[in-house]
Amino acid sequence: MESLTGQHIILIIHYFFFVYGFLAIGSYLFLTVVSAFETSEYVKKNKFVDYSEILASSISPSISIIAPAYNESLNIVENVRSLLSSHYVNYDVIIVNDGSKDDSLELLINAYDLVKVNYLVNKQIPTKPLRAGVFKSTNPAFEKLTVIDKENGGKADALNFGLNVSSNQYVACIDVDCLLLEDSLQKMIKPFLEATDHKVIATGGVIRIANSCTIKDGKLLDVNMPKKMIERAQILEYLRSFLLGRMAWSRLNGLLVISGAFGLFDKKIAIEVGGYDTKTVGEDMELIVRMRRVMEEQKVKYRVAYIPDPLCWTEAPDNYRIFISQRNRWTRGTIETLKMHKKIGFNPKYGALGLLSYPYWLIFERLAPIFEVVGIIYFTVLMMLNYVRWDFSLAFFSLAYLFTLLLSIAAIYSEELTYHQYKKKGTGFKLLLTAILEPIVLHPFVLYAAVRGNYDYYFNKKKKWGVMQRKGMGTTAT
Amino acid sequence: MDNLKKIVLAEDNSTLSLLLKFRLEKEGFQLFMAENGKEAVNQIETNNPDLILTDIMMPYISGLELISHVRNKLNSKTPIIVFSSAGQEEMVLKAFNLGATDFMGKPFSPNELVIRVKRILS
Amino acid sequence: MDFDVFVNYYNQLPFLIKVVWIISVILFIIIIVSIFYLKIYRTRLRNSTAETQKLVTEYEIQLINYLYAEEGQEEQNSIIEKLTFCISSKSKRKIIKRVLLKLKKEISGEIAVAIQNLYRQIGLLNFALKKLDHQNWYVVAMGIRELKQFNIKDAHDAILHHVNHSSKEVRKEVQLYLVSLFHFKGLEFLTKIETDLSEWDQIQLLEVLQKNEDQQDVDITPWLNSNNDSVVMFSLKIAEIFNQYEVQNHIIELLHHKNNIIRTKAILVLGGMQNLDFKHEVMNNFEERTLEEQQALFKIFEPLVSNNDEWFLLKYSEHYNFEIRLEALRLIKNFSPDKFALFKETTNNGQFLEMLNFLTDN
């Protein structure tokens, strides 16, 4: 009798993993197909857009680029120059120096002829106070630049200060070390201006990996494939995530995340919902979820748009230590956001947001690493008890592996058929090789970081509310 | 043949530069072509032209940088005519500040360009 | 035999495992095929770029030769013949169009006209006109765009026919065609349009209008009274940018429009025209107006303020909105400095004082 229940339990566990795996594969397949449709439509429609018209126009709406900086003195002068070289006409750049302990401010003052100006801040969102004050350039060539020096309060707090200061209709929140292509702003603003029967609350952009690319004077001159496997594997990962996943979610109007490294927001709405949350490490995801939540509650017809063009390039971690700490932070951000807004989950009042996006994120993003670890432990136990049918396991492993590989190849196809950034001979092969190796060389670290994130969230309280640590190379792409 | 006036033409639109080359050669000038700012700098340094025609927007080195290079690095007073497109008014102003001699807004008429070139070189 | 062992092994497997193996094999085959295809695709992409470049150079030379050959001469005719032959191939047609366009964009005057003639002579025009009746929106939009780029005015009626097409892209191309080629006259479509003009469309159209200096007098009043709110907005922008003072009275009527965005824009436009009549109209029922309208009034208020408006400024220096408060105080500082000084002495509200101090220094 007892062994029978034991067997039952084992059977249930098996079925659980089987169904979970089946659903995961099914949902990925579904998203891939949706993204294929959306991509082909986007490319077709985009052919008719003459961006040069809108770029020159002084009647186009005003945008502020808000870039928080913390101890970025190494590259800050160059980075600001790149931000100032956008081709859009009606925009300004707000650099928020978030209590940096280095000489960022002095460097900026010298490079851009800055002087302190009188400034009255409309404190719509509470933030940490100013430190040295607000600076503008005396050189008319840099009239678009405002530098704010405030006391340290973290990235979210710095962005909020930028929201308070901006007098423009839209804000582009970006990481200061990002390289924006010159036509980024007009491409990102387009969804806002095109909508007639609904409101666009935010547009998300793609993050591309700039490692090994040739950059001069804030311009991307040449796209190269980096040498290290960890960098290449991330390129593939980003392609999968941005060209397949997000593209599909944008079609379903279910995007929950806009990359903190580059997103454009309707400022009025962002302020109305209270700006960025300073208490989470996942402030980029949390803001979007909150904005969507408020829209749903106010019954406004809205959309979160997405532009798949390669507009924003940034350095990705090139060693495992930084990579793990970055992913650890993303994991905690996801957990916190989902927890803060658990009211939305499985709640038909929130429409597709509650019934589709939220559950997907919970089950396949938030819980996947946990299930995976449980699976591994379970398998180890079976192995020790000598219960493993190795030939059966081989069947499942090969299915899982081949499916992952197929998804990566689909992402490579998507890239080749649309933007084809990696033009050089031999890079196609390198990408393929990466796709073949990635499950072995990168995935274990992704899994480890996710587990660490969970551990830190539940057991390491000090880190939970800790000040965001920004490494020179650190980026936020989720 | 030595007394042919030399012109360096920096323009990344290959069709336009071919058209202008034919037209100006017909008028009796010797043309040196450059597809980008970098090549233009090389052509200028090796050929010491009597006139420089350059587009404002070019890959690698922009027309503005080109002007600044000619005026400040080479310390040359060679006349420079810049081509600009709609919406680049700000750049045209900068070009004049850097020492451009004249400018032509695209789309322009090649005949008009020839007239201006002749006037400057006569 | 090895193979038999394999088959026997497979046959004894449970159903589920069989399924897993079958799917794995299918995936494996798909992967192999797509890898090979990817290789072919990348190679072809690289080669075709080189091939295209070669053709571009060839057609460029022919085009230039055509343009500098004497009209009606042997050489010109032989080039026309050659190109006419080439356009039967779709890929070559595309490249020829690209070369023509590349030059036409940068050139004006007689050479631009010559390019246009060549476009007709080699038969490209017929291909474009055929596209207008196509089923697929994409083809129609492409055709209209091409006719716009080559400045083909005779297609006017056929294109205007598509003004309410179900595809947004086609509609946009129709509008751009009309306004690019016929400027203000092309705006006649505003009477016919039943869909919304997005802000993006409006900006593009205004850009095109601004580029053409021949600003004819068009009467925009019918559009200011349109039932289509987006058309009203667009006409307001036209009135603003092209300084149409003569329609001011019609714009004043829009202060009572049902749409908040239109009322707000009307205030901004009238303010820009420094119209004094509307000021009292807005001030008198200021309380009932939306925050957007109130902000709009204060944005354009400065040149309109007279000494009689002091009560109004004083009243709204305590408005709940930051910008309105700040602007009201700034105007008080300019128009009645003694009142402003009095404020500074008497207030004990920290935030208020901060604002006053800021204004004193600026």
Q: Decide if C68 and B26 are in contact by the 8 Å CB cutoff.
A: yes
Q: Is A55 on the interface with B (CB under 8 A)?
A: yes
Contact C68 B109 (CB under 8 A): no
Contact between A193 and C199 using a beta-carbon 8 Å cutoff:
yes
Q: What is the mean pLDDT of chain A?
A: 90
Pairing of strands A145-150, A170-174: unpaired
ipTM more than 0.90?
A: no
Contact A321, A191 (CB under 8 A): no
Q: Cβ–Cβ of B109/C107 closer than 8 Å?
A: yes
Q: Is B15 close to C64, i.e. CB distance below 8 A? A: yes
CB–CB contacts below 8 A, A to C: 100
B87, A89: Cβ pair inside 8 Å? yes
Tens-place pLDDT, residues A104-122? 999 999 999 999 998 889 9
Which of C140, C193, C203 best probes binding to A when mutated, by most A CB atoms within 10 angstroms?
C203
Confidence at residue A472, expressed as pLDDT on a 0 to 100 scale:
36
Is A2 in CB contact (< 8 Å) with chain C? Answer: no
* A364 pLDDT above the threshold of 90: yes
What's the sign of the alpha-carbon dihedral A105, A110, A111, A116? positive
Q: What is the pLDDT of residues A194-237, one digit of tens each?
A: 999 999 999 999 999 999 998 877 778 889 999 999 999 999 99
Kindly state whether B86 is in contact with chain A, defined as any CB-CB distance less than 8 angstroms. Answer: yes
Q: Do B108 and C107 touch (CB under 8 A)?
A: yes
DSSP B73: I
CA distance C91 to chain A (A): 17
Domains, in order of start, for chain B: 5-115 (3.40.50.2300)
Say whether A48 and C21 touch across the interface (CB within 8 A): no
**H runs (alpha helix) in A195-259:** 229-239, 247-251
Distance from the B83 Cα atom to the nearest Cα atom in chain C, whole angstroms = 10
CB B31 within 8 A of CB B24: yes
Q: Residues C294-327: pLDDT tens digits?
A: 999 999 998 898 888 888 998 998 899 999 999 9
Instruction: Mutation target for C interface from A28, A52, A58, A59: give the one with most C CBs within 10 A.
Output: A59
**Which residues from chain A sit within 8 angstroms of residue B60, using beta carbons?**
221
Interchain CB distance below 8 Å, A48 and C31: no
Dump pLDDT digits (tens) for A278-318. Answer: 999 999 999 999 999 999 999 999 999 999 999 999 999 99
Kindly give the residue spans of alpha helices, DSSP state H, lying in C87-154: 90-104, 110-121, 124-131, 137-149
Which of C57, C105, C110 lies nearest to residue B107, judging by beta carbons? C105
Query: Nearest C-alpha of chain A: how many angstroms from C188?
Result: 21
What is the distance in angstroms between the Cα of B47 and the nearest Cα belonging to chain C? 25
SS3 of residue A65 by DSSP: strand
Are C60 and B15 in contact (CB < 8 Å)?
yes
* Gap from B87 CA to chain A (nearest CA, Å): 5
CB contact under 8 A, C107 and B112: no
Q: Cβ of B87 and A52 within 8 Å?
A: yes
Contact residues for A457 (Cβ-Cβ < 8 A; gap 6+): A331, A332, A335, A336, A464
Residue among C20, C206, C241 whose CB faces A399 most closely: C20
Put simply, the answer to whether A221 touches B86 (Cβ < 8 Å) is no
> Is A122's CB within 8 Å of C322's CB?
yes
Chain B residues interacting with chain C (CB cutoff of 8 angstroms): 13-16, 18-19, 22-23, 26, 83, 86, 106-112
Q: Which residues contact C339 (CB under 8 A, 6 or more apart)?
A: C310, C314, C332
In chain B, which residues have their Cβ closer than 8 Å to the Cβ of A221?
A: 60
Q: A416 contacts in C (CB within 8 Å)?
A: 38, 41-42, 45
Contact at 8 Å (CB) between A145 and A112? yes
pLDDT (tens digit, 9 = 90+) per residue, C229-288? 999 999 999 999 998 899 999 999 999 999 999 999 999 999 999 888 898 889 989 999
Residue C72 pLDDT more than 70? no
Which residues, in sequence order, are CB contacts of A193 under 8 Å at separation 6+? Answer: A60, A61, C198, C199, C200, C203
Low-confidence ranges of chain B (pLDDT < 70): 1-2, 59-60, 87
Assess B107–A contact: CB distance below 8 Å, yes or no: no
Residues of chain A with C-beta less than 8 angstroms from the C-beta of B86: 56
**What is the nearest CA distance from A56 to chain B, expressed in angstroms?**
5
Structure tokens at A432: 């393929």
Those residues with Cβ within 8 angstroms of residue C4's Cβ, 6 or more apart along the chain or in another chain:
none
Answer whether A328's CB lies under 8 Å from A453's CB: yes
Residue A466 above 50 pLDDT?
no
> Residue A475 pLDDT more than 60?
no
pLDDT digits (tens, 9 = 90+) for A23-73: 999 999 999 999 999 999 999 888 888 776 666 667 889 999 999 999 999
CA gap B10, A237 in Å, rounded: 41
pLDDT at A387: 83
Q: Does residue A395 belong to the interface with chain C, where contact is any CB pair within 8 Å?
A: yes
